[in-house]
Structures are given as C-alpha cells and as structure tokens.
C-alpha cells in the first residue's frame, strides 16, 4: 500500500445572493464558501466518486500531507493507493462541514452583508443542511451518483441522512460508529460541554470576537470531557494507569495523575484549531437527529455496511443495531459487524483488526 503525497485544500463558493442556501430552519445564507480536498482521478464515466464525511472536529484534510506540515490527514490510514478507500480506483472527495472553522462558512466567517463575523447571528443548523452543502459540492464537481459515501461518528450520521434524502444518489454507504438517534446520556454529555462554553465569562453571548477574547477555558473543558467519551476505560488504564507526575511531592488539588496532564494537553491543543461557536453549532444538530422519523416512507436503493466497536461506549453497538433494524424493516440491503477493539469510539480513526478489510471488500 502507498501513501498520498502533498495535497492542497481547495475552496469554492457554493451559495450566492442569486442562489442562496435556504436552511431547514428557513434561514438563508447568501454566501457559502466550502473548503474541500480530492484524491485520485475521476474517471470518464464519472462513476467512481467516494464522498468522505468527517466527524465533529474533523476538516477537509482527510488524507495526504500539506506542504510544510508534519501531520497527515485524519483518515490517512484508510484513504490512499491500495488502502481500503483505494485512490488508485476511486476519486475521493472530503469537505469541511457548514458551520465549521476550517475554511467552510461558519460563525467565525465574515458576513458579506455586514462586513463583520457572523458570531451568534449564525443560524442554527440541521443534519440536512450539512448534506445540502455536500450535494452542491458534488454538483459543482459534475458528479451525479456516488459510488459510495463513507463516514464515522457524525460523518456516518451525515451519510445516513443523505441516503434517506436522496435515495437514488448513493450506491454504497459505509456508516461507522454512528447513531440514528442519540440517547439521553449522549445529549447529557454534550449539554455539559456546551454549558462550559456558554457560561465562560469570555463568551459574551457569542460576541467574544468583538471583545478581542475567546472562551478558551470553556472550550478546553468541553474538549477534555468529550475526549474521555471517545476513548475506552481499558485504553486509558493501559496508557496511564495510576501513574503520577514525578516532578511534585505529596498530594495536591492541581493536576497530578498522568491522565490529568494528558487531558490538559488535549484541551490546550484543541484551542489552536477550533472555534467555540462552531463547537456549539456542530454538536446541537446531533441532539435533534432522527432521520427515520423525518423520512418515514423513504426506501433508499443504497446498500449499507455498518460497523461498530465493542469498546465504544459513546455510540455503542446498540446504535448501529437500531440503524440496521430500521433499514431492514424498509427492505434495504444492510450488513453489520461489531469489531473487537480496545480503543473505544476513536476506533473508527484507527486500524483495529478486520475493520479496514470490511470497508475494502464492501467498496469493491
């Protein structure tokens, strides 16, 4: 298997004053710019396209390496020559979500109508709004039908929504560690994370940019708590156990155990790449997501491959089984496999044995 070399993020305007994006809420965005990357070559028949949908804090940079950077794309182990999503065969498209903060229009973007950042005036989003922008990007690229759409976590939720909205546009759907309806516990975790941001003194009702500050503490705490839900108790225990910081002596209230320092690092590094309002706007649509209720009579022609992980306690296997049962009840072709992994929800970004083989065989 090979690796993708240097790649560049591209940008395109997909909504204008003459062709605005009307959101599910009825709100209108008259300027939407989208950041995206492509890997591989679109064939003459234009039928080898694979859309990759990213999770909550992902971006368009799914594979390859940016010039001058050290870190490869977030799904580089899955996408590339000879890999499960084989760029020798497929033309892969990855786009940053609407509402994000990595090149696609979001709360931190300038509103052309006012010349100021959208800030808290940015409209609330729905899963269908993420998909609407994906559709516009495919239309811009001249791609009618997708060979496949692939997504993990929030990315898998986008794939499911898309297949129900456009039941004849996606041939194959790979939905990994995802949900069709959050549990009360899921919503509770996100509520605590959002409260940390909303109640930060530097939030200023979402107008923190006008005050020259950011709710750094709240966003850091939100990320620290969320990160705990992405890993497993086993992986934390094996990595850190009860090891403590050897630089200090005695007991203290400040961070002492190695796992505490690890979470502090995760929170601090997150501040360098994410915006607080984007975090709020991208987590909220997940709480309201219930696509089978929203599309009660749709029977997609899409074939589904579902994957869950036995150590994932954020979106455990029961979530995938619900998707499977709902699809089977509609007569949709669907297969599900629970993969053994020690890494929890983050397994979808890693390579537990058998996982990539399932994706490779299904896309083939």
Q: Is-contact 149 53, C-beta < 8 A?
A: yes
Backbone angles phi and psi of 237, in degrees to 5: -65, -40
DSSP tag of 13: E
Within 10 angstroms of residue 191's Cβ, the number of other Cβ atoms is 12
Contacts of 165 (CB under 8 A, 6+ apart): 128, 131, 295, 298
Q: Are strands 116-117 and 146-152 parallel, antiparallel or unpaired?
A: unpaired
Single out the catalytic residue among 118, 281, 312, 319.
312
Cα 136 from Cα 95, distance rounded (Å): 11
Cα 72 from Cα 63, distance rounded (Å): 6
Contacts of 5 (CB under 8 A, 6+ apart): 64, 65
Cα 87 from Cα 84, distance rounded (Å): 9
**Residue 180 is among the residues annotated as catalytic for this protein:** no
Contacts of 257 (CB under 8 A, 6+ apart): 240, 242, 243, 244, 245
**Residue 345 is among the residues annotated as catalytic for this protein:** yes
Tokens 């794939």 appear where? 159
Residue 322 marked ligand-binding: no
Tokens 């997940």 appear where? 286
Instruction: Write out the two tokens for 169.
Output: 């546009």
**Residue 54 is among the residues annotated as catalytic for this protein:** no
Please give the C-alpha separations between residue 31 and each of 14, 25, 28, 78, in angstroms, as whole numbers. 8, 17, 9, 33
Q: Are strands 110-111 and 334-339 parallel, antiparallel or unpaired?
A: unpaired
Longest dimension (CA), the chain: 68
Closest by CA to 108, choosing from 220, 210, 217, 221, is 210
Residue 223 marked ligand-binding: yes
Single out the catalytic residue among 94, 102, 109, 153.
153
Closest by CA to 187, choosing from 283, 280, 98, 322, is 283
What amino acid positions are annotated as catalytic residues? 153, 312, 345
Query: Which residues are known binding-site members for substrate?
Result: 223, 346
Query: Which residues are known binding-site members?
Result: 223, 346
């Amino acid at each position: 298997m090979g690796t993708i070399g240097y790649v560049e993020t591209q940008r395109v305007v997909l909504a204008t004053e003459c062709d605005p994006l009307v959101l599910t809420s009825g709100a209108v965005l008259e300027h939407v710019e989208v950041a995206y990357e492509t890997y591989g070559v679109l064939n003459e028949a234009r039928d080898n396209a694979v859309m990759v949908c990213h999770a909550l804090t992902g971006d368009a940079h799914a594979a390859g390496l940016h010039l001058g950077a050290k870190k490869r794309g977030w799904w580089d182990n899955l996408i590339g020559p000879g890999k499960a999503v084989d760029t020798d065969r497929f033309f892969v498209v990855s786009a940053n979500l609407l509402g994000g903060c990595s090149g696609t229009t979001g709360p931190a973007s300038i509103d052309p109508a006012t010349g100021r950042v959208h800030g808290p005036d940015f409209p609330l989003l729905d899963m269908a709004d993420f998909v609407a922008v994906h559709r516009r990007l495919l239309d811009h690229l001249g791609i009618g039908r997708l060979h496949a759409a692939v997504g993990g976590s929030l990315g898998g939720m986008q794939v499911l929504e898309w297949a129900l909205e456009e039941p004849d546009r996606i041939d194959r759907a790979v939905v990994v560690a995802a949900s069709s309806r959050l549990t009360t516990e899921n919503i509770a975790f996100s509520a605590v994370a959002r409260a940390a941001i909303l109640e930060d003194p530097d939030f200023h009702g979402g107008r923190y940019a006008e005050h020259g500050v950011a709710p750094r503490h709240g966003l850091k705490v939100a990320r620290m708590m969320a990160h705990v839900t992405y890993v497993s108790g086993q992986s934390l225990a094996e990595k850190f156990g009860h090891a403590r910081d050897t630089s200090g002596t005695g007991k203290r209230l400040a961070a002492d155990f190695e796992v505490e320092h690890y979470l502090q690092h995760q929170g601090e590094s997150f501040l360098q790449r994410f915006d607080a309002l984007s975090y709020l706007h991208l987590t909220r649509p997940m709480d309201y997501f219930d696509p089978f209720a929203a599309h009660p009579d749709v029977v997609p022609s899409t074939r589904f491959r579902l994957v869950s992980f036995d150590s994932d306690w954020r979106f455990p296997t029961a979530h995938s089984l619900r998707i499977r049962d709902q699809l089977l009840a509609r007569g949709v072709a669907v297969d599900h496999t629970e993969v053994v992994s020690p890494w929890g929800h983050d397994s979808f970004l890693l390579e537990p044995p058998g996982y990539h083989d399932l994706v490779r065989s299904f896309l083939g």
